Amino acid sequence: MSLPGGAWDGGPAVGDLGEFGLIARIRERIPPAPAASGVVLGPGDDAALLEVPPGWDLVLTCDIQIEDRHFRRRWMSPREAGARAAAVNLSDVAAMGGVPTAALVSLGLPPALPIAAVDAMCEGIVSELGRHGATLAGGNISASDAIILDVTVAGRVERGRALRRSGARPGDTVLVTGHPGRAAAALATLDAAGDLWERLAASGPAPAPAPELRERFRRHLAAPSPRVAVGRFLAENAVASAAIDQSDGLTGDLAHIAEESGVRILLGRSFLPIDPELAALGPLVGVDPLDWVLGASDDYEMIFTAPAGKVDLALALGTALGIAVTPIGAVVAGPPGVDVLDADGAPIAAREGWDHLGRGRAPEGPPRDGRN
């Protein structure tokens, strides 16, 4: 399949350039830090320096991407790998309601990796950060067998406004942006032959030709959009009582909110937003689309709870940003956990979130990360 954003092969390798040559090359490609980022000192010293304005707290998160664990060269371009490594961290800052400002990256690079691929990875990191007002402020490079991109993103949030996992209360409504499950469906179909996409184009709601359909699915996995604007709206307007970004899967991530808030969460099966293309694809590959929607899938959508008086504002946000925002359930008192209920109110067993260290995972299993 064609991967926009550069190739993994060809040209001189990073081992020929050497570490400090490579660092100098990367530094040249970083645009000046935007003033609003608060970066006082960027790359080129022992550490970066950032200004955090009075009245704001620093938001800090890190998440690692390892080749063949979290992505494969076969289905992700170097530029996408870089952008995605930034995006999954920007998503965590978004889930706190923060403004992303600066990032560091630890790069592990096989010495035989082409310099052009590293250029493209760094362009991906820098451009994804830049889309959200943040800048690359430092990092380090090591040789390694597999490609490693470990990005730390810093941001800021008004003191007391951060969206925590622990604030959900009985009576709150549970909402989600976008269409969770797309990434899982994309992963499940990465090796699918062209005829699957032709059958989907024929049977499904999508008007696109087969190659475009296939590429659209691949990008659900390879190019997530962190919901930074959503997080900022929720924080600035005190809309959300709790929030988390969807990186383990809808029920798995909601289980974290349930645990940290000490509440039970009920999801209505009929309320769940199911992407029409997923609904059409499921039967073609023998999968219940609901498994994708509820189970392990890292779409980096925003999952949040809102008190009754704020739900209208949350829905208006979706309209304003052109993003689907769907009420999918309710917070109730009870032992921490998540139940999915069918139309009759009968519980469908809640699925567990992805366990990244579990030994039972399939070799091609969905690459997921967990936070502590």
316-345: contacts with a copy of itself (CB under 8 A):
none
The answer to whether residues 95 and 59 touch, using CB atoms and an 8 Å cutoff, is no
Distance from C-alpha of 325 to C-alpha of 319, rounded to nearest angstrom: 8
Give me the helix-helix angle, 78-95 and 228-236, nearest 10°: 10
Distance from C-alpha of 329 to C-alpha of 101, rounded to nearest angstrom: 33
- Phi, psi dihedral angles at 139 (to 5 degrees): 155, -165
Query: Interacting stretch for a copy of itself, rule CB under 8 A, among 136-144, 169-177, 184-192, 314-322?
Result: 136-144
| Contacting a copy of itself within 152-171 (CB under 8 A) | 152, 154-155, 157, 159, 162, 164-166
Show the CA angle centred on residue 69, arms to residues 65 and 70, nearest 5°: 45
Query: Interacting stretch for a copy of itself, rule CB under 8 A, among 148-156, 215-223, 293-301, 319-327?
Result: 148-156
Question: Using the rule CB under 8 A, which residue among 75, 127, 133, 144 binds a copy of itself?
Answer: 144
Query: Interacting stretch for a copy of itself, rule CB under 8 A, among 50-58, 174-182, 197-205, 275-283?
Result: 50-58
Residue 369 found at the interface with a copy of itself (CB under 8 A):
yes
Distance from C-alpha of 27 to C-alpha of 209, rounded to nearest angstrom: 41
What separation in angstroms does the CA of 170 have from each of 230, 265, 269?
23, 9, 19
Distance from C-alpha of 240 to C-alpha of 309, rounded to nearest angstrom: 11
Question: Using the rule CB under 8 A, which residue among 93, 184, 239, 317 binds a copy of itself?
Answer: 93
| Contacting a copy of itself within 244-263 (CB under 8 A) | 244-245, 260
Q: How far is the CB of 40 from a copy of itself (least distance, A)?
A: 5
Of 243 and 266, which has the nearer Cβ to a copy of itself? Answer: 243
Instruction: Please tell me whether residue 249 adopts helix, strand or coil conformation.
Output: coil
Residue 350 found at the interface with a copy of itself (CB under 8 A):
no
| Contacting a copy of itself within 165-204 (CB under 8 A) | 165-166
Q: How far is the CB of 367 from a copy of itself (least distance, A)?
A: 9
CA atoms within 13 A on the CB side of 162: 18
| Contacting a copy of itself within 3-42 (CB under 8 A) | 14-20, 22-23, 26-27, 40-41
| Contacting a copy of itself within 98-127 (CB under 8 A) | 98, 102, 104-106, 108-109, 111
